[in-house]
Structure 1
Amino acid sequence: MNLIHSTAACVIKQGERYLMVEEQRGGPTSVFNQPAGHIEPGEGPIEAVLREVQEETAWQVSLTSYLGLYIFHTDGGQTFHSHGFIAEPLTPLNLPLDPDIIATHWLTLEQIRALDQQARLRSPLVLKRIEDALSGPRYPLSVIRE
């Protein structure tokens, strides 16, 4: 049975830096991603992305735009439907990070592109979402009917 994984991810920019999470995914080196994760049963993408941002970064954010639905097929045959969002950081929270997260980092676009060249981004969607946030269309959050 081929399952489709439904996820949500968030591009968060402050000044010229983006909030990224560093994760250990079983390889020899860590990888970097936006705050992101699976949409849990009973959740919609907006609720899920706000939860994931808080769990993975200990930041409260305000969603500003919807980037769209990204469809990604892995080499292993998995399919991901990933909802992309843009948010502004509001307040750092005094909460522990999700145990899968090594650290959070505020990185420049150049630093993120360098990680891409080193194959240290979790998926091709990481850089694509940032580039789309910079130049692509943005949609109102109301396009999602929860």
Structure 2
Amino acid sequence: MPSASAIDAIWRPHVTVACVVSDGARYLMVEEEVNGRLAYNQPAGHLEDRERLVDAAVRETLEETGWTVEPTHLIGVHQWRSTEHGEGMIRFSFAARPDRHDPARPLDAGIRRALWLDRAEIAALGGQLRSPLVLASIDAWLAGARLPLDVLHAWPHGTTP
């Protein structure tokens, strides 16, 4: 078994999830404060310990927008090095249907509001997009990228497949 220092030396990317939630030609977005600037993103965030990827996507969407969604597909897995903090990222992008909205639900810290924008409005935000993965995920969705959710597998902690 490797030593604790060897394990600590292993590079570990941040694992994140995002939801492309469409309502016709509009997409659910969040306007957020990031390092003193205004940025736009899909509902997105980090995977938590022992959490399934699809559950993280649903949780992050609810926490950031007040929308409960139903994931329908995996759009893709994107690897990227953040220009914001320099860390490596692995992002799982999901497609989801809006189910219900709770406008009274408080949004995560830093989230100013949730809003619906069409692709042209999102593209026009340019440098205000949190990352290039925002538009890439929408474009992948529009191009027909749809993997079934059952391509993802999670085993309960302590068990083997």
TM over 0.5: yes
Which amino acid counterpart does residue 82 of structure 1 have in structure 2?
Answer: R
Aligned residue for 1:35? 43
Larger Cα-atom Rg: 2
2:117 match: secondary structure: strand
User: Is residue 127 from structure 1 mapped to residue 127 from structure 2 by the alignment?
Assistant: no
Contact map agreement 2:82 2:131 (CA 8 A) in 1? no
Aligned pair partner of 2:16 in 3, 7, 32: 7
Q: Which runs of no fewer than 5 residues in structure 1 stay unpaired? A: none
Identity %: 41
Q: Which residue of 2 aligns with 1:110?
A: 120
Superposed structure 1 runs of 4+ greater than 4 Å apart? none
Equivalent position of 2:105 in the other structure: 95
Matched residue type, 2:118:
T
Give secondary structure in 1 for the equivalent of 2:145: coil
Equivalent residue, structure 2, for 1:137: 145
The answer (yes or no) to whether the contact 2:73–2:149 under 8 Å persists in 1 is yes
Distance of 2:43 and 2:78 partners within structure 1: 15
Two-structure CA RMSD over aligned residues (Å): 1.3
Question: How far apart, CA to CA, are the structure 2 residues paired with 1:68 and 1:127?
Answer: 13
Deviation at 1:77, TM superposition (A): 3.7
Q: Which residue of 2 aligns with 1:71?
A: 79
Q: Distance in 1 between matches of 2:79 and 2:39?
A: 20
* 1:108 Cα deviation after fit: 1.0
Distance 1:137 1:26 in 2: 32
**Superposed displacement of residue 137, structure 1:** 2.2
State the number of aligned residues.
143
The equivalent position to 1:83 in structure 2, one of 92, 98, 110, is: 92
Tell me, yes or no, if structure 1 residue 57 matches structure 2 residue 69.
Answer: no
SS at match of 1:65: strand
